[in-house]
Structure 1
Amino acid sequence: MSTTLPAEGYRLTGISPKAYEHPADRAATAALGSIPYLDKVVRRLIELGYERAMRAAYLGSSVRLSEAQLPDLWRQHNIAYATLDMPDVPPLYLTQYPSPNAAAIGASRPIVVLQSELVRLLDTSQQRAVLAHEAAHILSDHQLYRTALQILLRIGSTAIPLPVAPIRAALLEWSRASELTCDRAAALVVRDPLVVCRTLMVITAGAEAEKLDLDAFMRQGQEYAEPSSGLQKLTRLFLDLGVTHALPVKRVHELMAWVHSGEYDRIVAGEYRRREEPVSARAEAGGATDHYATKAKDAIAGAGATLQDSYAEASAALEGAGDKVAEWLRRRGADAGRQDDTD
């Protein structure tokens, strides 16, 4: 099933990502900001050269799209940025890979990479939804943390030194929340939330939309969101722990709950926060943190006081990890420098 895309002139002039930011994203970002030295740690990871290596790998094994290379896809990429009123359009690459995925790579000079299976499965509106989702990550300034997480995931959990493991866990939690914000942006760009839901269904199933039933998938999302026992909530919590994206049915449910709240229609009608408007950091972080902390507490409460105590200990350990990670990275950087001197 296809949909009619909005006219190319449709633009959300000056829109701030705060206009559609999911409260979980806002809270998780605030929580990351409270971890001592975290920004220094992730910047140090990037300085060590892993980002350059990732960028080189994509440049060497992908095709850069343009007016001469898959111009229709390149056009959808440009329209997504124009709609979000983003003047700088990053390079777009297509790489052969059997699973459908996309990513914005790089903290300072991002590029967007699409995997070939994604393009094969999706129609034009769904492709624009994916490209808008990645554009929203860049607009929200997610790239520093996302790039650090991609580096840590490529290092592999078995190779990550103990001090870095809590940082990886924190970034994974934040990453899942940030996806909910970008799903909202994608819905605004294509001007049809159901296109985003259909895109998530197609990517999840690995089958074209014409072969799937969106209504059934939406009911599946509603079923997943229904109240459940403490054990079921705990099981879902553990399912989330090692993944970068929230589960697709949860993302569909979260997106449609936002639409039903009336916020989507309000923004499409032109009533939204602009980038130049001041933001009260205390108000933003405070309300969001309360929302996020309540959800986390509810998820853990069903497991009993013992697990809750363990969670508190883990949180305390995470807050104190900054010094250890910084020291480990400092030593690693010094060792790398000595190695370079001998090569």
Structure 2
Amino acid sequence: MNTVPVLLAAASQVVTKEELNGIAEYYNYFGEMSETHFDAVLSGKEYSKHQAALIYHCCYLYFALAGRKGNSLAGLRRKLGLPKSVYMNSLKCISKKRINFIRDELSGAGKSFADVFKENEKYVEKMLVEATACDMPEDRKILTNLSSFEYEHPTDRSYLNKLNTNVVIEKLIKLYSEYNFERILLVQYTGSNIRVTPKNIPYLYNALKTVCEVLDVKNMPPLYVAPGSLNAMTVGSSKPIIVISSIALSLLSYDELLFILGHEVGHIKSQHVLYHSIGNFIPYIAGVIGNLTLGIGEIAVKGVLILLYQWYRMSEITADRAGLLACQNIDAAVSVMAKLSGYPPSRYDEIDNDLFLDQAVEFENFDKNAFDKLLKLFSVLYKTHPWTVMRAKELKSWYDNGDYARVYNTEGRRKVDRKPQNIVGTIFEKEIFCANCGKKITSAQRFCEFCGKENIYYK
């Protein structure tokens, strides 16, 4: 039987392109799995950890479908140098329910293993990728002592410091607190969507765990899966949660998934979430109370809102950098941008990152005409995200100019052992709590975001 194309599709999700050639030889034996074939293929071969895990899970799937006992699998596991836990992950992800589904398909008249694998290609592929990712020994570099200041876009930090001391923003935070907007969002997402745990969608749980380890984030945020288009978001400034669309699990490769989760964890690490929430809150509150002047004047308020949305867009650039540091694969990062831009899923195998990046050059050429430049400016004035092609170009430039390598390489990164100068409201600050309600706050906020009372620790 020829199931190799399906298995290689699964392999392409979790191994590099260079590793695929090595794993293809092994898959040519699929259907004749035995100790003899294990020895024949493994003799003199060295497989990466990613390859070894996927080979094992593919063999487990075959043995389960064929109703064969797994004594040979134990020998294969030892030959591949895999831990015993890899077997438990096969049991967890390649479950009896899934095996029975494929067996039911096999019961159809005249169907072979190859027919069923081909007809259910995405189902089989997803199952194998999940099983492999659950126990995938990550080769990614852990960026110990990583500080967000090392990769933040300078405009992001500059604008954020201005927002921290702005009177209009303080009034918006008070309104945000009074309307309990954050509480509404948290109740909505935690009550209506699927919580990801080590037992519930372990593939996704382990992806987020990897991201947090790589980016040196000690407290892993709760993760939820929600219906909707390809997207992810972070809500809740005091106790943030990440929400990712269910379709992302089907449309993104493992490295792409790490990028999009790393992007969201980057927002948390840089403390973007409160002001992101304010930016998303403004249209809602403006609709409730009418013209948003806050007793200051419409022009002044609009000026601050423009600053807020300018910062918001710059914060997305910072988060993209965090995503790249998490996945450590520039091609995967750019391909996520292409998919977010609307590339049809049926054509994902045709994505050309270079052509997509060329669009950014064409887009920049609009600046040559003053009127077109003005149109571009006004089109994003109150938008939270930059143009996607420009995000991709900005990230690729950051990668190409050596800044990514500087942060990635241990020799190029400093150990953070003191609070940076002239920076307030950061992760380096000692924890403080509101004297009125007891909630955790930062010294950068003049008013508590939870109760609206004045912050006695305000700097």
TM-based fold match above 0.5: yes
TM-aligned CA deviation for residue 10 of structure 1:
2.2
Q: Distance in 1 between matches of 2:185 and 2:393?
A: 33
| Contact map agreement 1:220 1:249 (CA 8 A) in 2 | yes
1:152 maps onto 2:293 in alignment: no
Change (3 A) 1:9 1:187: closer
Match of 2:342 among 167, 192, 205: 205
| Contact map agreement 1:64 1:93 (CA 8 A) in 2 | yes
Alignment match, 1:55: 186
Alignment match, 1:121: 251
Q: Distance in 2 between matches of 1:262 and 1:50?
A: 41
Alignment match, 1:257: 397
TM-aligned CA deviation for residue 280 of structure 1:
3.0
Find the residue that maps to 1:163 and give its secondary structure: coil
Match of 1:93 among 204, 221, 224: 224
Alignment match, 2:381: 241
TM-aligned CA deviation for residue 123 of structure 1:
1.4
Q: Identity over aligned residues, as a percent?
A: 29
Find the residue that maps to 1:281 and give its secondary structure: coil
TM-aligned CA deviation for residue 41 of structure 1:
3.3
Give the TM-score of the pair, scaled to structure 1. Answer: 0.75
What residue ranges of structure 2 are gaps of 5+ in the alignment? 1-11, 17-49, 51-136, 295-300, 424-450, 453-459
Q: Which amino acid aligns with 2:413?
A: Y
Change (3 A) 1:54 1:214: same
Alignment match, 1:299: none
Change (3 A) 1:232 1:37: closer
Match of 1:221 among 357, 360, 382: 360
Q: Distance in 2 between matches of 1:9 and 1:220?
A: 30
Change (3 A) 1:274 1:231: farther
CA-to-aligned-CA distance 1:136-155 (integer Å, 9 cap, x gap): 00000112111222222444
1:1-343 to 2 correspondences below 5 Å: 2=13, 4=16, 7=138, 10-36=141-167, 38-39=169-170, 41-97=172-228, 99-155=229-285, 160-163=290-293, 166=302, 167-208=304-345, 209-226=348-365, 227-270=367-410, 271-281=412-422
Greater mean deviation of Cα atoms: 164-173 or 228-237: 164-173
Find the residue that maps to 2:368 and give its secondary structure: coil
Give the TM-score of the pair, scaled to structure 2. Answer: 0.57
Find the residue that maps to 1:146 and give its secondary structure: helix
Q: Distance in 1 between matches of 2:290 and 2:200?
A: 39
Change (3 A) 1:56 1:168: farther
Q: Which amino acid aligns with 2:237?
A: A
| Contact map agreement 1:118 1:203 (CA 8 A) in 2 | no
Greater mean deviation of Cα atoms: 41-50 or 143-152: 41-50
- Give RMSD over aligned pairs: 2.8
TM-aligned CA deviation for residue 169 of structure 1:
3.7
Report how many aligned residue pairs link the two structures. 286
Alignment match, 1:335: none
Q: Distance in 2 between matches of 1:276 and 1:124?
A: 33
Q: By percentage of residues, which structure has more helix?
A: 1
CA-to-aligned-CA distance 1:174-210 (integer Å, 9 cap, x gap): 1111000011111111112221111011111153331
Greater mean deviation of Cα atoms: 218-227 or 137-146: 218-227
Q: Distance in 2 between matches of 1:78 and 1:153?
A: 34
Change (3 A) 1:152 1:121: same
| Contact map agreement 2:140 2:328 (CA 8 A) in 1 | no
Alignment match, 1:341: none
Q: Which amino acid aligns with 2:332?
A: V
Greater mean deviation of Cα atoms: 3-12 or 215-224: 3-12
Alignment match, 1:300: none
